[in-house]
Amino acid sequence: MKHLKAKSIFEWCLGVGILWFLIYKFNDRQILIGYIRRLLPSGEGSMLAAMLWGSMEGISREFYSQMVESGLVHILVVSGSNMMIVVKGLVEVLAAWLGRKKAIIVGVIAGWWYTNLVGWQIPVIRAAIMVTFLYLAQILGRRHDWWRVLWLTIIMMVAADPRVLSEVGFWLSFMSFAAVSFKSDEGVVKTTLRVTAWITPILAYKFGVISIISPLSNFLVLFLTGIITTLGMVASVLGIILEPVGGAVLWFVYPMLVYVKWVVTTLSTWEWGQIRISFNGWMLAGSYLMGIGWYLRRKGD
């Protein structure tokens, strides 16, 4: 009994120690951003800093326009998948040391710390709420329903601040997640096409551009974004502790960033690939109503 009690105390101390280390070492994202920019060329470093930590400093207007025209501007926003990388990564690594329940507590707290670190951006808040429900269900031994949690998350965010309904990032985040989750067992090509179709009206409303090459650009790039994000976060953590090791990981990521930049700059020159359009709120609502109608009709056949 004493052995088990001592083990439990040790596990909690270890968990608290890990959280303290994370918060103490990485409580200022400018340190992390500065580390990336110091080791990578400005263009690629700024792109990675935007993907990981939500910093748009160093992203020129020209390159931002190219991202819009190529249909890839969404990768510059800190995505909800970052949250899964942070929380799931910690939970899976720490579970063997602390036990799964304690690892989940540490992982979820770290996830909310990351939300605060990147500035409470809408996609990250959405992901933080949903991943909290996911792991809470695991602790309680309950069945987890993504769609029920999705609607509950929307209600919670709107109740907390109704102004999120006017934020494009709010709708992009939920539409992207819903599109991926709609038929999660489909292949990369169909999923990419569906995500593109679901978010294109919002992008047209926001930027006045419909990128008809967006499915191609997303197919060429999206398979790398998860790898870039994961390795970038690992490099940031290692870099603060052991800079040469973190630097080695960053230089492994560098060719991937060069490739993404090449796709953006190349496809953005295809003038026929962008349709300039004046897309108002009525057109936005109408496009989704037609999509819902088409789905219901197809489902009924």
pLDDT tens for residues 37-50?
888 888 888 899 88
HSE of 56, CA atoms in CB hemisphere, 13 A: 14
Decide: 175 and 199 in contact? Cβ < 8 Å: yes
Decide if pLDDT at 145 tops 60.
yes
E strand or H helix that includes residue 211:
strand 209-211
Decide if pLDDT at 8 tops 70.
no
> Nearest to residue 88, comparing CAs of 252, 185, 233?
233
Decide if pLDDT at 1 tops 60.
no
Residue range 262-280: mean pLDDT, rounded = 81
Decide: 130 and 153 in contact? Cβ < 8 Å: yes
Decide if pLDDT at 184 tops 80.
no
Decide if pLDDT at 12 tops 70.
no
pLDDT of residue 33: 79
The string over 42-64, giving b where at least 16 C-beta atoms fall within 10 Å of a residue's C-beta and e elsewhere, is ebbbbbbbbbbbbbeeebeeebe
CA distance 220 to 215: 9
Give the position of tokens 């926003």. Answer: 77
CA distance 236 to 112: 18
Decide: 224 and 246 in contact? Cβ < 8 Å: no
pLDDT of residue 131: 86
Domain count, the chain: 1
CA distance 213 to 224: 18
Q: Which domain holds residue 8?
A: 2-300
Indicate the DSSP class of residue 118: T
pLDDT of residue 9: 55
Decide if pLDDT at 83 tops 70.
yes
Neighbouring residues of 251: CB distance < 8 A, sequence distance ≥ 6: 39, 40
Task: Give backbone dihedrals phi and psi of 284, rounded to 5 degrees, phi first.
Answer: -60, -50
Long-range contacts of 149-156, Cβ-Cβ distance < 8 Å, separation of 24 or more: 150/174, 150/177, 150/178, 150/181, 153/126, 153/129, 156/129
pLDDT of residue 238: 79
pLDDT of residue 262: 94
